[in-house]
Amino acid sequence: MKKLLLFSVLSSLIVFVSCTPKPKPEITEQQKSALRSDAKTFMESLKSVLIKEIQTHGIVSAVSVCSDTAQVLTNNYGISKGIYIKRVSFKNRNPMNVPDEFETKVLKMFEEMHSKNQIKPETEYVELIEEKGVSKVRFMKPIIVQPECLNCHGAEEQISSMVKEVINKIYPNDKAKGYQIGDLRGAVSIQKTL
Ligand code: HEC
């Protein structure tokens, strides 16, 4: 009887200990600011490749360069930083840029904020998630349409017929036209394993 009691006390202790949640790791200010700067550098390098190509070879050539470079840069940048980084949008041009479940949730939130004029240059979203026992920090930042984007993402009449031709050829299912300055274009999305 004593043995049985001891056994049950011990086993409930084991259950108790193994059920106590592990303390959730917190995202430090330092980690946040590193992610912020990764997103910024990534967007700046994409933009500088784009602008350089437009200036040296023209807008038509920029489309094809951009379509390859964006994905290559996305991969290389992520690998060099040990992170996953990409751009996502509900109205995506590249099928690779469809948002996943988490990105969809955050993009919807950004859209809601955008409709209330609440998107600011410092707007961002950070969340710590557990995926298959791995802690990951996910970071997203809105991308807003600027004047120079309209050559390739604006209304039909703002995009030259040559540019349209190239876009339609590479992206037959392009949804990323018809934007105006100030529209929410999508978001930069970063995942980093802790
Ligand atoms: C020279 C044409 C061109 C210009 C100018 C341009 N883009 Fe794009 N954009 C593209 C192409 C091509 C893609 C598909 C690239 C890829 O494969 O990721 C793209 C993709 C994107 C994506 C990823 C989501 C998607 O639709 O696939 C975002 C976000 C984006 N552009 C935002 C912008 C913003 C913001 C600007 C202005 C600062 C801009 N673009 C200017 C051609 C252009």
CATH of the domain at 180: 3.30.450
Per-residue pLDDT of 23-79, as tens digits, reads 667 889 999 999 999 999 989 988 888 888 888 988 888 887 667 667 777 777 777
Ligand 1 centroid vs 137 CA: distance in angstroms? Answer: 25
Is 12 domain-assigned?
no
169 domain-assigned: yes
Cα-to-centroid distance, 45 and ligand 1 (Å): 13
Buried b (16+ CB within 10 A) or exposed e, 1-39: eeeeeeeeeeeeeeeeeeeeeeeeeebeeebeebbbebb
- Which residues, judged by CB distance below 6 Å to any ligand atom, belong to the binding site of ligand 1? 47, 50, 59, 62-63, 66-67, 70-71, 87, 89, 92-94, 97, 143, 145-146, 148-149, 151-153, 176, 185-186
Average pLDDT over the chain, rounded to an integer: 87
Does the predicted TM-score (pTM) go above 0.75?
yes
Tally the domains of the chain. Answer: 1
Give a yes or no: residue 84 inside a domain: yes
Residue 10 lies in a domain: no
Residue 13 resides in a domain = no
* Domain coverage including residue 136: 27-193
119-132 confidence digits (pLDDT tens):
999 999 999 998 88
Q: Is 67 a member of any domain?
A: yes
16 is a domain residue: no
